[in-house]
Amino acid sequence: MGIKDCYAAIPRQWKFPKAIIYLFGIELVFEIAALALYGIAQPDLYRTRLWKEGSDHGWNSNPNSIIYAYANHRPVHTPLPWSQFITNYNVVISVVALFLLLCKAIMYICHVFYPLLSTPIHAALIALYAVSIHAQAAPDTSDPRHPQPGAPWYLTKGCGAPVKPSLQGYCKQAQASFAVTILLCALFLVYLVLSIWSVLAAASGLRNRKLSTASSSAEDAEAQGQRPWEMAQVMPPATPGTTGGLKSPMTPRTTAFNTLSGKMGGGKGKEKKKGMMGMGKGKGKGKEVVRAPDGKVPLRHHISMGDEVYGGPSGNPS
C-alpha cells in the first residue's frame, strides 16, 4: 500500500459533526474557568491555610511537620493534596488544554481535524487530568496520629462550620477547582468516545465500499463473459434471399448459367422453367443459343457489364 492509499484510508468524517462544535463551546467555558481557578490558587493563596485548618481540627497532618523535618535533617514528605507540585501542575495542564483547544478549532475549520488525530490528543488530555484528580483527592497519611485516609477535608466535610468564615471562600474555590477538573476529564472522555466511534464507523463504511466495488467488478466480469452469448441471442434473423437465408438469390446471370449448364448436359435446359428471364415463353422450346466463332456462348444481361463468354460446364466465364 502506497502513501496515497494510506492517506486515502484515513477517516475524515465525524459521526456527528455538529456535536464537535458544541463540545468546543463547552470546553472553552470549562477551560477558562479552570485556568482562572488554578491561576488564583498559585503559588500558595489558600493551600497552606486549608492544610493548617484541617490540622487544627485533627483532620490531617500539620504543615509545621515540614519545618521539624528540615530542622532534624529528616526526609521531607509533603502530602500530595497540599504540595506545590499539584498547584503548578494544574496551571500547566490548563494552559496546554486551552492551547490545544485553539488548535483544534482552527484545524476543524480547515477540515483537517480528523477523528483519528483526535483520539490520541484526547486520550493524553484524559491522562493528564486524571493525574490531577488523583493528586487533589489523594490521602494524607504523613502524620500517624492524624491520618487522612481519603480525600481532603474540604471535599468530604464541606465548607460550613466549624471552618473559619475567613476560609470558607477559599474552601469553595478548592471545591470548584476539583469539580472543574472532573468535568474537563469527562468532557475529554466524550471527545474520545466520539472519535473512536467515528473511526470505527468510517472503517466499516470503507470496508463496505471495498466489498461493493469487488462485487461490482465480479458482476462486470461475469457480464463480459456472457456478452457473446447474449449477442448471439439477439442477432437478427438472416435476410431472405441471401446466403443462409430462406433461399439463394436468383439473378439473370445465375439463370443463364443454370440454363446453359442444362443445354451442355444433354438438353436438360428445355425442361427449365419457361418464365425465367433470358428465355422465351413459347411452346416449351427455349430460345436458340447463339455461339461465338470459338464455340463459346456470349452472355448479356440487363445490367450493362460488357460481353462475357461462357466456356461450358468445366470452363470459367471470361
Cell 488523583 belongs to which residue?
Answer: 134
d(CA 270, CA 109): 100
Give me the helix-helix angle, 165-233 and 47-56, nearest 10°: 120
Q: How confident is the model at residue 34 (pLDDT cuts 50, 70, 90)?
A: very high
Mean pLDDT, range 80-88, rounded to an integer:
91
Tally of structural domains, the chain: 2
Residue in 105, 99, 104 with CA at minimum distance from that of residue 120: 104
On whether residue 246 sits in a domain, the answer given is no
Q: Does one domain contain both 127 and 167?
A: yes
d(CA 151, CA 88): 19
On whether residue 2 sits in a domain, the answer given is no
Contact (Cβ atoms closer than 8 angstroms) between residue 170 and residue 45: yes
Peptide bond into 149 cis (omega under 30): no
Mean pLDDT, range 70-90, rounded to an integer:
85
Q: Does one domain contain both 126 and 77?
A: yes
How many residues are present in the chain? 318
Q: Does one domain contain both 74 and 205?
A: yes
Cell 468516545 belongs to which residue?
Answer: 193
On whether residue 185 sits in a domain, the answer given is yes
48 vs 211 pLDDT, higher one: 48
On whether residue 46 sits in a domain, the answer given is yes
242 vs 110 pLDDT, higher one: 110
Q: How confident is the model at residue 209 (pLDDT cuts 50, 70, 90)?
A: low
On whether residue 70 sits in a domain, the answer given is yes
On whether residue 236 sits in a domain, the answer given is no
On whether residue 180 sits in a domain, the answer given is yes
Q: Does one domain contain both 258 and 199?
A: no
186-192-195 Cα angle (round to 5): 145
291 vs 14 pLDDT, higher one: 14
Q: How confident is the model at residue 201 (pLDDT cuts 50, 70, 90)?
A: confident
On whether residue 20 sits in a domain, the answer given is yes
Contact (Cβ atoms closer than 8 angstroms) between residue 195 and residue 122: yes
Q: Does one domain contain both 26 and 173?
A: yes
In which domain, by residue range, is 14 found?
8-222
Q: Does one domain contain both 217 and 258?
A: no
Q: Does one domain contain both 121 and 263?
A: no
Q: Does one domain contain both 140 and 193?
A: yes
What is the phi-psi region of residue 164: left when phi exceeds 0, alpha when psi lies from -120 to 50, beta otherwise?
beta
Q: What is the pTM of this model?
A: 0.63
d(CA 284, CA 266): 16
Last residue of a domain, one of 203, 222, 241: 222
Q: Does one domain contain both 192 and 275?
A: no
